[in-house]
Structure 1
Amino acid sequence: MRNWIVFNDPLALKAWLITWGADAIRGGEVSPDIALLRIPYAYQSLWARFGQGAVSVGSEVYLFFNAVVAVAISGIVLRLARLINQLRQKLYPSQLVFRQGVLVTIFTLSWAGALFSLSSSGWSANQGRYLLTGVAGWSALIALGLTAWFPRRVFKPAVVVSTVALGAVAIICLFVYELPSYQINPVPAKIDLGLSYTYENYAELIGMSPAYPRVQPGETFTLTLYWRALKPTPTRFQVYLHTTGTQIVRRDSDPATGNLLSTDWQSGDQWAENYRIVIPDDAPPQTVDTLIAGLYNPDTGHNLIATNADGKQVTPIIGAFAVNGPQLASSPIAYRFGDTIALGTPQVKLDGQQLQVCLIWQALQDQTTDYNLFVHIFAADGKMVDGQDSLLGDKYPNSAWRTGEIVNDCVEMKLTNQPTSESKLSLGLYTLPALSRLSVTDAQSAPLPNSEIIIPFNETTS
């Protein structure tokens, strides 16, 4: 009311849109269609959210509050049913009940109107926490609903029990969820993937965990970066974590989730930066997305230059994550490369001088080494006349495959020499730079000579 009288702005919307113009919906005009879409979020952001709504608590806490609200709503419905029944019997409510009804109605309509007005003007204005000024009305409304289920003689014990229960929930929220969110996460003694990037002598990125996340569309994983400060910055810098091939990861934030501002750094300060990453349901499977991370000045948009351990300026590629394909039924295994990769029967098609070799691979376990595939053509005299070497899986290398995953890969070559029925195709896997071939066995577990699979061209499909 004071805001209305003094500023002609009862909900402080004008001040909101002036100080945070970017949050205005359609330039600040009232947008009822947007409000109807965003109003449901108001309840999700009302109970037990901290840090401007960014810090949530456990699902059991929200279940508790949802149960309280459900019981309160059902209690109000019960009171209304009793009132309607009394009116039918021409038993009119007392003055106290009438006043309660008027207050509840006024509060409900005022709250609904305020929520609709806020949600139709600002993108973030639909957060329930902005309506906590009505907490007294909320409390009265909930109490009215809850007491409908209890006889008056148990009111006092119920007050004690509910006070203790709410106090316990408040303590859990504070010490289990809220305080840990404002603490600096330490760097463990062992880091999955060590890194060495220095950003203009202000800080070092020293590691990442896990070393190579593997996920499927719709899944969520946690990525952690480990930092070490070298000296304080002249202005507040932020940390960025981005994917280079997609928009899946676009995170920019103050260091240590705002708990260790760059202007407060001291040489030797270390912290862990945790990111919870959600893979969209429609993310293309069997792809690899590269991650880059660093520091930037949000005032100028300048990314700090990254240098590696040799002092050379580089793009700060910290690693990647793989979006794996669905788990499919295992195909018949014809060959095994070591104990890491299985291969079905190769399908070879020759059309003139165009050769296609289609391979069905299966990961027998998670791998860290990428292999190269060789496909070589030999004449009858044993001389190699054509061939091609390439990274196994190309843009989806075998180090990204998840245990049990099926990967289809076709190699196409334009031959310079027409094969004859006496020509042979040789294929296998090897590592770089050692050029060491991976041993291969057939379906009977017999090792193949020279660690290669030989397919005579008289057995190919042309």
Structure 2
Amino acid sequence: MRPSWFSPTRPTAAGRVRLRWPDAWLPWLIALPIAWALWPGGLPNTADGRVHFIRAAEMIHTWQDGVWLPRWAENLGFGLGIPLFVYAPPLPYFLTGLLHLAGLDLETAFKGTWLLGLWTGTAGAYHLGRSRLGWRAGVVAATAFAYAPIQLRELFIQGNQAQYLAWAFAPWAAWSLIRIFETGRRRYALTLALALTGTLLSHNAAALLAMGMVAVLGLTLSGVTRSLRGLWLSVGGSVLGLLLSAWFWVPALLEGQYVHLDKIVASDFRQRFIPLEELVALSPPLDTGAINPYFPLTLGAVQVWMAALGAGVLLAWGVGRLLRPGSSWTGIRLEKLDGGSGLFFVAFSLFCGFMALAWSEPLWDLLPFLEFFEWPFRWHGFTALGLSWLCGLALVGWSRLLRLPAAAIEGATMLCVLLLMGSALVNLYPHKLAPNRQEVTPADVVRFEVRTGAVGTTSLGEFNPIWIEGALQDSPLVQDYLAGRPVDRLAGALPDGAEGEQLLNRAQEHRFRLRLPQPATVTLQLLYFPGWVAWVDGEPVAVRPQPGTGLLAVEVPAGEHELWLRFIDTPLRWMADLASAAAWLLLAFWVGLALMQRRPLSWPRRRLQIQGPTWGQVASLLGCVLLILGVRAAFPDRFRLESPPDQALPASRPLRADFEDQIRLLGVDPAPETAWPGEAISLVAYWRALQPLETDYAVYLHLDAPDGQTVATTDLRHPGDIPTSDWATGLYVRSPFRLAIPAEAWPIRYDLHLGVYDPVQGRNLAASPGSQWGASVGQLWVMPAHGSEPSAGLWARFGEAIQLVDVKYDLELSALVLYWRREGPVPDGLSIFVHLLDDQGVVLGQADGVPYQNLYPPDAWWPGQVVEDVRALPHVDVARTAAIALGVYELGSGRRWPAVDSQGQPLADDALLVRIHP
């Protein structure tokens, strides 16, 4: 295959690819500022970091009991056990455990896993760009990927280590596919299989997206290269990846009916879409005075603009081929493989970015499984991959288009690196917890569940066995754990007169000696789940769940017996294990055979050597990295905020409302003043704990009518996704709300109130200065959604600001429909009179008041809004009704406002007379 023009090449005598030594270290150098921000001090104070830390600790606890491939987490579920590792991909916790076994304390090992993910993703993006575009493009692509805002948000703010690690394997999967179609060699099918295995064992949702990416990219490259061998190798590599990881994903998928996976979606994805302006925004400075500082879900403005330039290169190439086939008048010559890859990454980036926007809602509803992704920003990890390749293309493509000399190309490369790293400086000041070198004991695991309510390390209990009725809230074992006593799984299990002794209590194995005066059902403090088997004196006996509690129950005959319990694989798990074992053995055999032949794995006999960077060029990149580190150290105040203890500087509207002596509202980013029925509004609240909190309070945002009736509400169980018991008193919490306006909401003015309540006791916390509805945080006008449009014109004017623009009569309702409009400010205390008069002017009946059942007085009308006012007329003798008098008056004095007709002529008695003939 002819080499791409992007990759300077030369033939070698040996015929092998030999990377220069500096080239192998470039990913480490590129990632150095991120690692420098991560490594010193304690762990970043992230939303999900503690959850993954606890899971890693629980993995290590099972290893200490000799179970090296666990499926059961003994200490979770308040010590009753949870089948966590049947459903939670285990690779992040394996890596932390291996680093811990190597001698690192658990905290350092946990950071080490983050660093492995950082290097894996950076190196993958580098080699993806380098393989066809050259090392300079690889450097830019790796920088764009590693410093993508979503990557740094996951690392320093969100803390979902599993998702971060899964994203890191995606560049390797794309690189493997391109190499498969470039060389047709089997070794790249192997790297594809390993990349997919890493993704499948890291994060379930990301794995589904990665499989979709591999399928579409493989079909695209197959179509442009017409390589049947490449297609079969890509399919084979994908199947091998599925087999290598089948021991995990097959049980997780097919045994999902044993847990509450229907609860895994905690919120509606429709509330999580990202505004377009946020998608392409620059990241603002992070506030060190916040527990969860604002971090927009942006793709990165620099990445987006550079990728757009890369797409322009592809456009110029396409135009050139269209206008002058076979020529290179634009200076760009691309092979089919490069063009196909480029078109894929353009379409892929646009599609993934589109899926994060509200415009994609029909696709979310149409495509299967997407509702389980829950967070549209999950697509960002893959969007960052496509953008990073296009950023590399932009560098080399425009260098060629502009015919830059070599020195200018070097300068452009370093400028791109500085722009990408510099735009991320605001994200390199993570808020960290105090260093803690203590190991996490089983008691700490249980204490975490008790304190946070995250039973089984999940907030909704989705991994709880289905045989538990209701939520798992406590167990008799908690006191044993917290007091440091041996765990007694026989607590409350034996009938009167029976005796029992616990002989063995390990992660997936328990033994007891029992003395029973009569046959009995022994219910252990252990949750039932398929895989638990029991023997009494060596004879197998059946186990079953106790109704309601879900505890494991065993029938034991009278007398003295030894009861032995073990958690083993079900037949389905055994089959999945065997399939994976066979795949790993096949892989080991193939690698061993190649090693015995003492030659590189399937390298082609004739090959071109891709030129790597010189030491001088590496020194230039090192200078850029050192410059970024120097700026970060010298000017921290330029790239971060620091709110005082009792303020939230990012809040656009400061407030001060205390909810008893527990929580203070510091301010809000208010909602818009107007909205339409069926629309959703956003509001951000800033809270601070006034003292260390033991209760996990919830907060709400209410949309209240003027009469106090709540017409819409949204509650947050954990404001900012952080339990209030975890709030530090010196820091604030940013809590975004999204409130849906009911489609049937009247088009009137509503009040917005924020409140705090105890979800366990069901008690609202009183707000100072004593509002029964919480703290008032603004007003909202709901605009009319539809209805009869008033005719153009003016019927009458009352005072200087109130207009009557139309009058209609609804025969079916026997109601008068008035259309009002306010053009300027008016005082409060106004009302509208509707009098039915006979031919002598005598009032036969009246229907005074303001629109919408007296809830919308003129002073509350939105300026310019046409207010529909439906008045049911009193039951009077229609034959005697000669006219209806309309006007505006002051409630206190009864004085009518001056009225003029459409021509500006004063009206008698300051009233408009309307004659109705039904």
Q: Kindly report which structure 2 residues correspond to 1:9-28, keeping only aligned pairs within 5 A, or say none.
A: 10-17=197-204
User: Does the C-alpha gap of structure 1 residues 46 and 376 become closer, same or farther in structure 2, counting only changes over 3 Å?
Assistant: closer
User: Does the C-alpha gap of structure 1 residues 325 and 312 become closer, same or farther in structure 2, counting only changes over 3 Å?
Assistant: closer
CA contact (8 A) 1:358 1:410 kept: yes
Corresponding residue number in structure 2 for 1:339: 800
C-alpha separation in 2, matches of 1:111 and 1:60:
16
Corresponding residue number in structure 1 for 2:880: 420
User: Does the C-alpha gap of structure 1 residues 411 and 424 become closer, same or farther in structure 2, counting only changes over 3 Å?
Assistant: same
Instruction: After superposition, give the CA deviation of every residue in 1:324-350 in whole Å (9 maximum; x if it has no partner).
Output: 249989833232222331114645688
- Is residue 264 of structure 1 aligned with residue 727 of structure 2? yes
CA contact (8 A) 2:833 2:886 kept: yes
C-alpha separation in 2, matches of 1:370 and 1:66:
59
User: Does the C-alpha gap of structure 1 residues 310 and 166 become closer, same or farther in structure 2, counting only changes over 3 Å?
Assistant: closer
The answer for unaligned runs of 5 or more in structure 2 is 1-168, 174-189, 213-251, 255-272, 284-291, 328-332, 353-366, 430-638
Corresponding residue number in structure 2 for 1:158: 409
- Is residue 55 of structure 1 aligned with residue 296 of structure 2? yes
C-alpha separation in 2, matches of 1:112 and 1:236:
45
Corresponding residue number in structure 2 for 1:391: 850
In the TM superposition, what is the alpha-carbon distance from 1:306 to its structure 2 partner? 3.8
- Report percent identity of matched pairs: 18
Amino acid across the alignment from 1:338: G
User: Does the C-alpha gap of structure 1 residues 226 and 416 become closer, same or farther in structure 2, counting only changes over 3 Å?
Assistant: farther
The partner residue of 1:149 within 401, 410, 435 is 401
C-alpha separation in 2, matches of 1:448 and 1:348:
22
Instruction: After superposition, give the CA deviation of every residue in 1:91-127 in whole Å (9 maximum; x if it has no partner).
Output: xx9xxx99xx8799899999999x99xx987625852
CA contact (8 A) 1:296 1:304 kept: yes
Give the SS at the match of 1:307.
Answer: coil
User: Does the C-alpha gap of structure 1 residues 16 and 287 become closer, same or farther in structure 2, counting only changes over 3 Å?
Assistant: farther
The partner residue of 2:674 within 201, 214, 225 is 214
C-alpha separation in 1, matches of 2:410 and 2:680:
41
In the TM superposition, what is the alpha-carbon distance from 1:234 to its structure 2 partner? 2.2
Instruction: After superposition, give the CA deviation of every residue in 1:239-280 in whole Å (9 maximum; x if it has no partner).
Output: 44355799998574865x67997743548x778867688989
Give the SS at the match of 2:296.
Answer: coil
In the TM superposition, what is the alpha-carbon distance from 1:461 to its structure 2 partner? 2.0
The partner residue of 2:871 within 384, 387, 411 is 411
Amino acid across the alignment from 1:163: M
The partner residue of 2:831 within 354, 372, 384 is 372
The partner residue of 2:379 within 108, 121, 127 is 127
Give the SS at the match of 1:73.
Answer: helix
Give the SS at the match of 1:129.
Answer: helix
Range with greater deviation from structure 2 (51-60 or 374-383): 51-60
CA contact (8 A) 2:293 2:734 kept: no
- Is residue 67 of structure 1 aligned with residue 308 of structure 2? yes
Give the SS at the match of 1:408.
Answer: strand
User: Does the C-alpha gap of structure 1 residues 238 and 49 become closer, same or farther in structure 2, counting only changes over 3 Å?
Assistant: farther
CA contact (8 A) 2:648 2:686 kept: no
User: Does the C-alpha gap of structure 1 residues 455 and 329 become closer, same or farther in structure 2, counting only changes over 3 Å?
Assistant: closer
C-alpha separation in 1, matches of 2:703 and 2:792:
33
User: Does the C-alpha gap of structure 1 residues 217 and 12 become closer, same or farther in structure 2, counting only changes over 3 Å?
Assistant: same
Give the SS at the match of 2:203.
Answer: helix
User: Does the C-alpha gap of structure 1 residues 301 and 276 become closer, same or farther in structure 2, counting only changes over 3 Å?
Assistant: same
User: Does the C-alpha gap of structure 1 residues 236 and 163 become closer, same or farther in structure 2, counting only changes over 3 Å?
Assistant: farther
Amino acid across the alignment from 1:12: T
Amino acid across the alignment from 1:294: G
Instruction: After superposition, give the CA deviation of every residue in 1:338-372 in whole Å (9 maximum; x if it has no partner).
Output: 23311146456889xx8532322122136684743
Give the SS at the match of 2:197.
Answer: coil
User: Does the C-alpha gap of structure 1 residues 377 and 109 become closer, same or farther in structure 2, counting only changes over 3 Å?
Assistant: closer
Q: Normalising by structure 1, what TM-score?
A: 0.60
Instruction: After superposition, give the CA deviation of every residue in 1:297-340 in whole Å (9 maximum; x if it has no partner).
Output: 7xx67766143557575477755422324998983323222233
CA contact (8 A) 1:425 1:455 kept: yes
C-alpha separation in 1, matches of 2:806 and 2:338:
78
Corresponding residue number in structure 2 for 1:363: 822
C-alpha separation in 2, matches of 1:247 and 1:349:
28
User: Does the C-alpha gap of structure 1 residues 142 and 446 become closer, same or farther in structure 2, counting only changes over 3 Å?
Assistant: closer
Q: Kindly report which structure 2 residues correspond to 1:322-337, keeping only aligned pairs within 5 A, or say none.
A: 322-325=781-784, 331-337=792-798
C-alpha separation in 1, matches of 2:844 and 2:342:
86
Corresponding residue number in structure 2 for 1:89: none
Give the SS at the match of 2:873.
Answer: strand
Aligned residues, how many? 419
CA contact (8 A) 2:671 2:683 kept: no
Question: Relative CO higher for 1 or 2, CA cutoff 8 Å, sep ≥ 6?
Answer: 2
CA contact (8 A) 1:212 1:319 kept: no
Instruction: After superposition, give the CA deviation of every residue in 1:43-91 in whole Å (9 maximum; x if it has no partner).
Output: x99977879996145996576234223134346658999xx949xxxxx
C-alpha separation in 1, matches of 2:405 and 2:387:
25
CA contact (8 A) 2:831 2:858 kept: no
Corresponding residue number in structure 2 for 1:305: 764
User: Does the C-alpha gap of structure 1 residues 161 and 366 become closer, same or farther in structure 2, counting only changes over 3 Å?
Assistant: farther
Corresponding residue number in structure 2 for 1:35: none
Corresponding residue number in structure 2 for 1:441: 899
C-alpha separation in 2, matches of 1:286 and 1:135:
44
Instruction: After superposition, give the CA deviation of every residue in 1:398-421 in whole Å (9 maximum; x if it has no partner).
Output: 455433232332312232455626
User: Does the C-alpha gap of structure 1 residues 399 and 63 become closer, same or farther in structure 2, counting only changes over 3 Å?
Assistant: farther
CA contact (8 A) 1:333 1:344 kept: yes
C-alpha separation in 2, matches of 1:75 and 1:447:
71
C-alpha separation in 1, matches of 2:279 and 2:778:
38
C-alpha separation in 2, matches of 1:343 and 1:398:
12
In the TM superposition, what is the alpha-carbon distance from 1:158 to its structure 2 partner? 3.1
Amino acid across the alignment from 1:364: E
The answer for unaligned runs of 5 or more in structure 1 is 30-40, 87-92
Q: Normalising by structure 2, what TM-score?
A: 0.35
RMSD of equivalent CA atoms: 6.3
C-alpha separation in 1, matches of 2:279 and 2:842:
75
C-alpha separation in 2, matches of 1:226 and 1:174:
25
Corresponding residue number in structure 2 for 1:461: 917
C-alpha separation in 2, matches of 1:313 and 1:388:
32
CA contact (8 A) 2:700 2:713 kept: no
Instruction: After superposition, give the CA deviation of every residue in 1:187-237 in whole Å (9 maximum; x if it has no partner).
Output: 88986xx896x5453224477676981245899977465656533422555
C-alpha separation in 2, matches of 1:155 and 1:251:
59
Give the number of the structure whose residues are more often helix, by fraction.
Answer: 2
Give the SS at the match of 2:311.
Answer: helix
Corresponding residue number in structure 1 for 2:693: 233
